[in-house]
Structure 1
Amino acid sequence: MLLQIDARHVGVPPRGIAVPAGVIDALSEACRLDVTGDPAGDLVRAESRWRLRAAQLGDATTQLYRAAVTVVADLQALPPTASQVTGRLISGAFRAERRSLSALVSVAVDQLAAAISALATARAHIHSIRTFVIGLDLTGIDAPAGLLAGAQCGWRRDPELPTFVSTYANEEVFVIANPRRGHPRHPQRWHASNRPSRADVASQDPGLAAEQTVCPVDGPVAGEVFGVGWRRDGDDDDPYTDEPAVLGPWQLGYIPATGEIYATRRCHYREPQVWLLAAGYTDPNRARQLLATLKRHMGEPNSLLLAAQKAHIAARSPAHTDDRDAEMGLSTALVHRPDHERGAGGMERG
C-alpha cells in the first residue's frame, strides 16, 4: 500500500494530499485508535468505530428521552401546592417529593443533552471520514477492488429504501402473500431436504458450484441464500456490543419457484423485514450467476442497495450483466446525497 498517513498528509510519493483537521481528530479520537502502518485500514476502522459509537449513543438517547418523559409526567401529576394535597399528614413530605422529582428531571435533561451532543460529535466524525475518502483520487493508491475503493463506492450509495422495492413485515407474511415462496413440504418451516444441493447447481452450470453458497438457514422461505452479511447504513451496528460491525444483518436469496430475488433482515436489535428486490428471473442459472457475482461485494458499505439496484436493472434487461457494472458500484444510479452520515449510527428507518 503506497498510501501513507502522518500528522497532516496522506500521500503517494511524490504526490501529497492534505488531510482535513476533522479527519485527523476522528482518527485520533476513534476509541483510542492508534494510527498504524495501514492507512486504508485506519480510515475504515475509525469510521466503523465511530459508527458503532453513534449506534450506541442513538440507543442511549432514546432510553434517556423515555426516562425524562416519565419523570416529567410524574412531576406534573403532583398537585401544584401542598394545600391541595388531601389526606397528607405532613406537608413537608409533599415538598420533599416535589424537590426530589424536580432534581431527577434536571439530571435526566442534563444526561439527555450530553448524549445528544456526543451523538452529534460521532456523526460529525463519520461525515468527515466519509467525505474525505469519497473525495480521494485513488489512482495509484488503491486497486479497484481494494478496501478504500470499496468503501468509497459503498459510502456513495443512498441507504434509503428504493422506490421499486416492496416490503413485508417478516418472512411469514412474505410467504402468506404468495404461498409458492414457501417450502412445498413444510410451508411454514425450513426443511433441509428442500434446499438445492451443490450437485444440483453444478449440473446446470459447473462453474457456479465453487462460487455459489446455498445456506441451510432456518426460516419459511424456500430460497437459495447468497450471503448472510449484506450491509445497509443504520442496520449494520449492534448497539449492545463493543465490536464494530464487519458485516450486516441482511440475507440475500433467490426463490426458483417464483423467479424472485429477495432480502431479509435478521438480527436481535432491529425488527425483521423482507424486501422483494426483483422478479422475472425464470432462468435460475441467470439469477445464480448474478447473485454469485454480486456476493463479492457483500462486505462493502450499503452492499444491499447495490444488490437491489443491480437485480432490478438486470430484471428489466434481457441481456446478461457482467461484474464490471457491479464493481463500478452503480455510482450513477446510487449516488449518496450530500449528508453522507445519514443512516449511519442508530438512525431509525424501515
Structure 2
Amino acid sequence: MERRPRARLELSDQVWEVLAQAGGNVAVLHRHLTAAGGEVPSLASLYRVVHRDLEAGRVLPDRVVVRREREEELTRQALADLALASPGQGDVTREAALRLPRSKSRVAPAVSVAESGSVAGVALPAGARLVETSSVRAVAEAVGQAMAAEGAVCVFGDPGRGKTAAVRMALSEVPAGWKVTWVPVPVRPSVAGMRRAVFDALALPGRFPHTSALADAAVAGALGEARVLVVDEAQRLPVPCLEYLQSLWDHPGTRITLVLCGAGTERALSRLPQLASRIGAWQEVPRLATAEVTAVVTCFHPLWRTVSAEDLTWIDQTSTHGTLRTWAALTTHLQNALLTTADAAVDRALLGRLCQRVAPPL
C-alpha cells in the first residue's frame, strides 16, 4: 500500500508580510492569526513551515522595507485624495493629512514615475504625471531618426527643462530587438573610469578585466546587438572620454545609437570636432512657452486645476520661468502647505510665499 499524501501547509504572502513586520517572530504571527479568527495551525507547525520555506530559499522581507512601503502607500493614497479635493474642501484636506504617517506628515515624498503609471527612472511629486509637450515630441522624433540610422543625437538645454525626462519618454517603448542602456557619468571622469562605467552599465558577467584590451573586447561584444547607449550629464566628459565613446560607435562590430544628453553638452562636443561632425541631430529643449504653461501644468498635477490661468501665468513670469523642475518643486511645496495648514486656500498670498521658496537668492 502506498502512503496517502498529506496536505501541505502553505503560508500566503500576506502572512509572510505580517511575519516580516514582526521581525521574524513566529510567536507574534501565531497570536496575530489567532486574533484574526478561523482555523489556526499550532505554534510548532508554524515554526516547522517557516523553517522549511527558509531552507528552500525563501527570503524573509526586511521589516524596515515593509514598514516603509506601507507608509508610502498610505502617503500616496492621502495625497491622491488631496489632489482630487478642491481648496474649499477643508474636511477632505484635514482627513487626508491625518491619514499620513506621522514620520512623513511634513514632507511629501517623491515617488517613482513607474509607480505612478508613467516612465521609470524619473522622480515626480505624488500624483503628478509626465506631459507630452512639443519638446518631448521633438526629442522623440530626433531619437527615433537616430535609431533608424544607428547614428548619434545630442539633446541639450538649460538645467531643469526636462531633457532627461524627454529622452526617457522617447525610449520608454523601443522596437522589438532593441535594448536601452543608461551610462552614468562619474564626477571628473577618466578614460578608465568611463570604460568601467560602460562595462557596469551593460551588466556584463564576471569581474572587470584587468587590462583595457580585454575590457574593450567585452564591451564591443555586448554592443554587437541593436542598442541605444544614453550618456546623461555628458557635459562632464573631457575630450579623451568623448574619444572613447566615438571609438565604441565607430567600431565595425557594434550597432549602437549614441544619445548624449546634458546642459552644455553641445559645448563639450565642440572640443572634439571629429565626434561633433557625426552628430545627426542637435535637439534643444527650450523653456516652456508662456502660451502652453496652463495646459501643461494642469495636466502635470490635478492641484493646479484649482488655480486660475492668470495666477499660473503670474507664477511662471515671477518664479518658474518655464522650468519644469521648478514647477515640480513648487507642486511639492503646495502639497505640504495644504497638508499641514488647516483651512488653507490656494490664493495669491499663499502662492507668493511658496514662490519665494523656489526662487534662488540673488
Normalised by the length of structure 2, the TM-score is 0.22
* Greater helix content: 2
TM-score by length of 1: 0.22
